[in-house]
Amino acid sequence: MPIQSARIQSVVSLGAIAAVVAIASPVTAQGQFDPRDLSGIWSITSGHRSISANVPPMTPEGEARMNANKPTRGRFLGEPLNGDHPGFVRAVRIPAQGNDPAHKCNPNGFPRLLLDPEPVEFVQTEGRLLQLFQWERTLRELWMDGRPVPSGENLDNLGPAWYGHTAGGWDGNTLVMTTVGLDDRAWIDIFGFPKSTEARFEERYTRTGPDTIELRMTMTDPKYYKQPWVGDVKKFTRVKRDETTFFGWYGLFAGVTEGICAPMNEVDSYNTLFRDPAGKGAK
């Protein structure tokens, strides 16, 4: 595009944005913001590390699958529940006795990666919201071009994916996204709750301020859970620029840095040199 027309277009766009902001934006003490702009680098700063603390009753198949997952996170197995769901109180004391797929650098998958507090950049483009995760240095594509999520034979032909297939759009000033087709080998969370390939997630993102987004998430998975698992309110807070500035460079040439879990680091080095020797001889 010629510079001149680009400039004109950007002036027009700016005018349009200003008009939209003036009409539609809630005004807060912190200033104005466009509620339909989720761009920026964010970190999840409040909310449960799982979907919520209120786990719905599970099916026998779901419970069996959960018991096969041996987490190292959460409270230790055998500690008093104190009102917590048993799924949060079953961590093994010796990490090598666990079977967390992420500890061998398998993908965290959705929603586990989204629930991780490491920074994530939201990039809004025509018809898509991209979530670029620092941890794993991976992305999710959330389609908002009018397409439905795949279903029936289409979904079956596509098969499951670590991050599933996501599509949705705006409901007022809330972005509503549906995800289907998730790989059942990835855990829901660090605690080892399972999900089946039939799981369906709804995410509702609402910009509540210049530096905050709230997320409400619900999972429906009748194969493993007798009722929908309704999420708590999860708050994303903008990561300050100086927190992603390294040696004078903002983000070292990208917004988020390289948090890759490479088996050569994690398995051959960390597990071999630290995790496993530390658990040696312990019961």
Partner 1 sequence: MTKSLAFLVLAAVLVAAAPLAAHHGRGATFDMKKRVTLKGVVSQVKWQNPHVLIFIDVKDDTGKVVTWGFENSNVHTLATQGYNRNTLKLGQEVTAVVNPAANGEPIGIIVKVILADGKEIMSRERGNPVD
- The 10 Å Cβ neighbour count of residue 131 is 20
Q: What is the nearest approach in angstroms of partner 1 to the Cβ of residue 281?
A: 5
> Which 119-138 positions form the footprint of partner 1 (CB under 8 A)?
134-135
Q: What is the nearest approach in angstroms of partner 1 to the Cβ of residue 234?
A: 14
Q: Which residue in the set 55, 91, 161, 180 belongs to the binding site for partner 1 (CB under 8 A)?
A: 91
Q: How far is the CA of 8 from the CAs of 16, 20, 170, in angstroms?
A: 12, 18, 28
Q: Residue 257 interacts with partner 1 (CB under 8 A)?
A: yes
Residues 202 and 230: beta-carbon distance below 8 Å: no
Residues 91 and 79: beta-carbon distance below 8 Å: no
Window of 57-65, 174-182, 199-207, 250-258 that interacts with partner 1 by CB under 8 A: 250-258
Q: Which residue in the set 65, 90, 103, 207 belongs to the binding site for partner 1 (CB under 8 A)?
A: 103
Q: Residue 265 interacts with partner 1 (CB under 8 A)?
A: yes
Q: How far apart are CA 102 and CA 100, in angstroms?
A: 5
Residue number with CB closer to partner 1 (75 or 128): 75
Query: What amino acid is encoded at 85 in this protein?
Result: H
b/e per residue 261-283 (b: at least 16 CB within 10 A): beeeebeeeebeeebeeebeeee
Residue number with CB closer to partner 1 (157 or 253): 253
Q: What is the nearest approach in angstroms of partner 1 to the Cβ of residue 90?
A: 12
